[in-house]
Chains A and B, each alone.
Chain A
Amino acid sequence: MFEPNPPIDLSSGKYLKLWQGPQHPGITGNMSLELITRGDEVVDCKTHVGYLHRGFEKLMERRTFIQNFPVVCRIAVPEPTFNEYLYAAVVEELTGIESPPRAEWIRTLNLELMRLASYLMWLGGIGAAFGQSTVYQWTVTHRDYILDLFEEMTGARIYHMYIVPGGVRGRLPEGFEDRCRDVLNRVEKLLHDVEKVLFNNVVFKTRTKGLGHIPKEMVDPYGITGPNQRAAGFSRDLRKDAPYLVYDQLEFDLITATESDTYARSWVRYLEMHEGIRMLRQCLDRMPQDGPFQAKMPNVLHWEVPAGETYIKAECTRGEYGYYMVTDGSEYLRRVHVRGPSYTHAIALMEKLAVGTNIADIAGLMVSLHTYPPEIER
Chain B
Amino acid sequence: MDMQKYALGPLPNDGLSAEDRDLFSDARPVPYEPYPVAVVEKFVNWVRANSLWLLAFGTGCGAIELNPLMTARFDAYRMGVQMRPTPRQSSVFIIGGYASVKTLKRIIRSYEQMQGPKFVVCLGICPINGGMYWDSYNTLNKFDEYLPVDLYITGCMPRPEVLMAGVLELKKKIKEGRADGANRYIENFEWYKANQKRVIKDWNMPDYNW
Contact = CB atoms under 8 A, between A and B. Distances in A.
Contacts, number: 81
Interface in B34-52: none
Contacts of B106: 22, 51
Contact of B137 (A55, A78, A374): A55
Contacts of B59: 30, 51
B115 interface: no
Nearest to A147: B68
B162 to A, nearest CB: 11
B71 A54 contact: no
A70 B132 CA distance: 9
Given A51-B106, A54-B136, A55-B133, 15 more contacts: A23-B57, A28-B63, A29-B58, A51-B100, A52-B60, A53-B100, A54-B139, A59-B136, A121-B67, A136-B71, A137-B72, A141-B68, A157-B159, A158-B64, A159-B157
Count class of interface residues, chain A: 20 to 34
B178 interface: no
Interface residues of B, number: 30
Interface in A147-183: 147, 157-159
Contacts of B98: 54
A197 interface: no
B19 interface: no
B25 interface: no
A127 B59 CA distance: 23
Which 9 pairs show the lowest CB-CB distances between chains A and B?
Answer: A140-B71, A141-B72, A23-B57, A77-B61, A51-B103, A144-B73, A141-B73, A137-B71, A137-B72
A345 interface: no
A77 B133 contact: no
13 contacts: A22-B57, A23-B58, A23-B85, A51-B102, A54-B132, A55-B133, A58-B136, A59-B135, A70-B132, A77-B61, A140-B71, A140-B73, A157-B65
Interface in A1-52: 22-23, 28-30, 50-52
A370 interface: no
Nearest to B104: A51
A54 B99 CA distance: 9
Interface in A331-378: 374
A25 to B, nearest CB: 8
Contacts of A29: 58, 63
Contacts of A52: 60, 100, 103
Contact of B138 (A54, A71, A124, A136): A54
Contacts of A143: 68
Given A30-B103, A54-B139, A159 B156 contact: yes
Contacts of B56: 23
B103 A22 contact: yes
Contacts of B64: 28, 77-78, 158
B57 A141 contact: no
A64 to B, nearest CB: 14
A137 B68 CA distance: 9
B61 A53 contact: no
Given A50-B102, A158-B61, A138 B137 contact: no
B101 to A, nearest CB: 9
A53 B137 CA distance: 10
B102 A53 contact: yes
A143 B58 CA distance: 19
Interface in B111-135: 132-133, 135
A59 B133 CA distance: 8
Most buried by B among A51, A78, A136, A140: A51
B58 A30 contact: yes
Contacts of B135: 59, 62
Contacts of A124: 71
A115 interface: no
Contact of B133 (A22, A54, A121): A54
